[in-house]
Amino acid sequence: MSAAILSAKKSKKASWAALAQVVGLSEVYTTSACLGENQLSKAEADKLVAFLGLTDEVAEALTEFANKGESAPAVSKEPLQYRLQEVIYVYGETLKTIIEEKFGAGIMSAIDFTMDVQKQEDPKGDRVIITMNGKFLPYKKF
């Protein structure tokens, strides 16, 4: 599924933002679905495959439950993924401590979650802005 989508995307010279607009979802979510990390509704999948000229089998695969995180190794060797993991290594305890101070003991949801990636032009080198917005889930006592 993902290989077919990537090939068609390249042939059409379409951006992820353009595919997201066709589907009616965010660029991040649409990309993750195309890479097998999330699922689309039948209507969303049908719009995507119609735009890309792909088969009903690809549309069906897009609607199946995703195995989130299955494609990622424990520590990725891909430089961008490694650097994001490095951010967690360096700032993970800091983030945990600050979140717990502000909210209490709990976690940030990756289910009730949104993410956005923006480019900020800078004369010293363009900047990547990643915004993650997750619902706080307190730990339950029982």
Predicted local distance difference test score (pLDDT) of residue 76: 80
For 132, counting Cβ atoms within 10 Å of its Cβ (0-12 exposed, 13-18 middle, 19+ buried), the class is exposed
- Ordered structural domains, the chain, with CATH: 2-62 (1.10.260.40), 79-138 (3.30.1160.10)
DSSP state for residue 114 in the 8-state scheme: E
Residues in the chain, total: 142
Q: Quote the CA–CA distance of 80 and 130 in Å, as a whole number.
A: 13
**How many Cβ atoms sit within 10 Å of the Cβ of residue 18?**
15
User: Tens digits of per-residue pLDDT, 16-51?
Assistant: 999 999 999 999 899 999 988 899 999 999 999 999
Q: What does pTM read for this prediction?
A: 0.76
Query: For the chain, which residues score pLDDT lower than 70?
Result: 68-73
User: What is residue 138's predicted lDDT score, i.e. its pLDDT?
Assistant: 95
So what's the pLDDT on residue 70?
A: 67
Catalytic residues: 83, 86, 109
Residue 121 confidence (pLDDT): 98
Q: What is the structure's pLDDT at 18?
A: 96
CA angle 45, 47, 53 (to 5 degrees): 95
